[in-house]
Chain A
Amino acid sequence: MVDSVTNLGRSGVFDWMIQRVTAYVLALYAIFLFGFILTSDVNYETWSALFDQTWFRIFTLLALLSIGGHAWVGLWTVTTDYIKPTLPRFLVQAFCGLVMFVYLVWGIQILWGL
């Protein structure tokens, strides 16, 4: 058993499952948006009408959270593979975490138009 405190869920199978589940959410979201762009006339009215609906805001928030989780697991793996010295690795991980947090809060602000 290898100890780790910087990965998302402490357990390997949790991280693995989160990455798979969030991948499905992101795929569904991407397919939906792609379908929307193909099938409807994209302009300010249709776009804002889409984002006015609560279910779509929830769906978008879920996608945002999924990007955060998915990216954390992925980037954590990349940094532990390629950045061997502890301090630079921790700093890069902290930077990634900060960026994800900013994106999340910013995304919520945009979604609910605060």
Chain B
Amino acid sequence: MLVSLYRYNPETDNAPYMQDVELDIPEGKDLMVLDVLNLVKEQDPSMAYRRSCREGVCGSDGMNMNGKNGLACITPLSEVLKKNKLVVRPLPGLPVIRDLVVDMSLFYKQYEQVMPYLVNDNPAPAIERYQSPEDREKLDGLYECILCACCSTACPSFWWNPEKFIGPAGLLQAYRFLADSRDTAQAERLANLDDPFSVFRCRGIMNCVSVCPKGLNPTRAIGHIRNLLLQRAT
């Protein structure tokens, strides 16, 4: 099997290049892409990538495999391999620090913009803030995000305006707190989003939905935010 890897070490390379590595994968065995990277790293320890939990929970190993973003640890070779070839590149649109490691500062900055925490002005009750099962259900499909950045870096609107458009991951979290019955800062949250870039750069092409390794739907959440903004303004 041929693996083509994006390599770039700013200390030694003038420009990024693709490195081809031939690997022998045992017949009838379906490895995850992360396992393949580990095999490569055994041959060439200078290869850099992030990984931690290796089971799709931590969100560290988001990368672009044969043209589609995903988590290397839960992407089976059989799903991405084309003509026995695997091309691995870093997440698109973010600055590369080294090889497959990208600088996620802008991604986190946008995440921070949406105040990703519960705001409640009422005095804290003795034990906990109650929430009905129905209200809790509204957070399903929102809270599961692991911030791997696969969606935002698959979004052309985020590529063109990463410092102004919050991006699908951030907006999913924005709606997660807008939809929370315990949150009292809805007006402030919406006021922060009502500009032509933060939410409305979304053109609804749904790349985010097609790549999300957790099967979430940021486009739907963005639609809900738009409806809330519209209700607030009309």
Q: Which residues of A come within 8 Å of B, CB atoms? A: 1-4, 7, 11-17, 76-77, 80-82
A residues less than 8 Å from B230 (CB atoms): 13, 16-17
Please determine whether A3 and B195 come into contact, CB atoms closer than 8 angstroms.
yes
Residues of A within 8 A of B229 (CB): 12-13
In the complex, the answer to whether A11 meets B233 with C-beta atoms within 8 Å is yes
Q: Say if the beta carbon of B164 comes within 8 Å of chain A.
A: yes
State whether B200 touches A16 (Cβ < 8 A).
yes
The answer to whether the Cβ of B85 comes within 8 Å of any Cβ in the partner chain is: no
Distance between A108 CB and nearest chain B CB, rounded to angstroms: 28
The CA of A2 and the CA of B200, in the complex, are separated in Å by 11
B195 touches A1 (CB 8 A): yes
Residues in B with CB closer than 8 Å to A13 are 194, 200, 226, 229-230, 232-233
Query: What total count of A-B pairs have CB within 8 Å?
Result: 54
A22 → chain B closest CB, angstroms = 15
What residue of chain A has the Cβ atom nearest to residue B191's Cβ?
A1
B160 contacts A12, C-beta separation under 8 Å: no
Q: In the complex, given contacts A2-B195, A12-B194, A77-B196, what are 19 additional A-B residue pairs having Cβ atoms less than 8 angstroms apart? A: A2-B198, A4-B195, A4-B196, A11-B194, A12-B197, A12-B200, A13-B194, A13-B232, A15-B196, A15-B200, A16-B200, A16-B226, A17-B230, A17-B233, A76-B196, A80-B161, A80-B197, A81-B161, A82-B160
B226 contact set on A, CB distance < 8 A: 13, 16
Question: What residues of chain A lie closer than 8 Å to B77, measured between beta carbons?
Answer: none
**Residues on A with beta carbons closer than 8 Å to the beta carbon of B192:** 1
Complex: A14 Cα to B194 Cα, angstroms: 9
Contact between A14 and B233 (Cβ–Cβ < 8 Å)? yes
Q: Once the chains are docked, how many angstroms separate the CA of A109 from the CA of B88?
A: 59
Task: Give me 5 A-to-B residue pairs in the complex whose CB atoms sit less than 8 angstroms apart, sorted by A's number.
Answer: A12-B193, A12-B229, A13-B200, A13-B229, A17-B234
The 3 A-B residue pairs with the shortest CB-CB distance, nearest first, are A12-B200, A2-B197, A13-B229
Residue of B nearest to A11 (CB): B194
Residues of B within 8 A of A80 (CB): 161, 197
